[in-house]
């Protein structure tokens, strides 16, 4: 038995290759021997393949690519990624926005869980601020003009520092609301 790239614990992976600005290979490998493989991998990996066609030369910033793919995952899997982000924030090991947005490849193993959770959270934050179409416009503009200008032009956010501030406030509010909804907490005090 041959495992998909990424090791035996990986349920699926995608391969996208381009030549001279054209996508020439699109491939999704899935471990059909894993329980729930269809829901666990196909939507996520198909998102990567589609995004490669949407963006010139298949060049999607890693955080945006993985963030959008995680948002195609099942709600349970998304919840686990957001839990990882919450843990990273509590430990102070989450990503500064400039680090996340300028990361060239994948992070080392110690920071991967925070990377996936934070990437999905930032994508969700920006999509909900406007729309999926505006998010696509932002990512495409950032490839051409840089993040600070694209943020200002598309979202009227003055750069990565201001984005980080708005996103951090939003995540803190979400965590506070989730904490207040936990069973056993009394209303009004």
**Which among 16, 33, 59 is the end of a domain?**
59
Question: In this structure, are 40 and 89 located in the same domain?
Answer: no
Number of domains into which the chain is organized: 2
122 versus 181: the higher-pLDDT residue is: 122
Q: How many CB atoms lie within 10 A of CB 101?
A: 21
pTM higher than 0.95: no
Q: How far apart are CA 134 and CA 57, in angstroms?
A: 20
Question: In this structure, are 87 and 175 located in the same domain?
Answer: yes
Question: In this structure, are 71 and 144 located in the same domain?
Answer: yes
Over range 61-69, report the average pLDDT: 96
- Nearest CA among 59, 66, 77, 44 for reference residue 122: 66
Question: What phi and psi values does residue 73 have, to the nearest 5 degrees?
Answer: -70, 170
- pLDDT of 5 > 80? The answer is no
Cβ–Cβ < 8 Å for 63, 129:
no
Question: In this structure, are 169 and 112 located in the same domain?
Answer: yes
Among the ranges 23-27, 53-57, 142-146, which has the highest mean pLDDT value? 142-146
Over range 182-187, report the average pLDDT: 61
Q: What average pLDDT does the structure give for the chain?
A: 87
pLDDT recorded at residue 55: 82
Lowest-confidence pick of 28-37, 74-83, 88-97, 154-163 = 28-37
Specify if 186 maps to a domain. Answer: no
Q: How confident is the model at residue 185 (pLDDT cuts 50, 70, 90)?
A: low
**Which residue segment(s) compose the domain that 13 sits in?**
1-59
Question: In this structure, are 97 and 147 located in the same domain?
Answer: yes
Distances (CA, A) of 8 to 5, 62, 76, 149: 8, 23, 21, 42
Specify if 189 maps to a domain. Answer: no
Among the ranges 5-19, 64-78, 174-188, which has the highest mean pLDDT value? 64-78
């Amino acid at each position: 038995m041959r495992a998909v790239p990424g090791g035996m614990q990986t349920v699926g992976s995608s391969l996208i290759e381009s030549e001279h600005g054209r996508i020439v290979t699109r491939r999704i490998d899935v471990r059909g021997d894993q329980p729930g493989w269809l829901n666990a991998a196909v939507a996520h990996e198909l998102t990567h393949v589609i995004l490669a066609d949407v963006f010139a030369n298949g060049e999607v910033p890693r955080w945006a690519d993985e963030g959008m793919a995680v948002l195609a995952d099942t709600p349970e899997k998304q919840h686990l990624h957001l839990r990882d982000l919450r843990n990273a924030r509590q430990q102070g090991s989450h990503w500064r926005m400039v680090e996340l947005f300028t990361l060239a490849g994948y992070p080392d193993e110690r920071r991967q869980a925070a990377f996936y959770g934070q990437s999905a959270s930032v994508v969700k934050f920006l999509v909900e601020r406007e729309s999926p179409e505006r998010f696509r416009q932002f990512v495409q503009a950032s490839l051409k003009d840089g993040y600070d200008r694209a943020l200002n032009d598309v979202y009227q956010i003055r750069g990565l520092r201001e984005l980080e501030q708005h996103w951090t406030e939003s995540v803190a509010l979400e965590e506070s609301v989730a904490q207040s909804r936990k069973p056993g907490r009394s209303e009004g005090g």
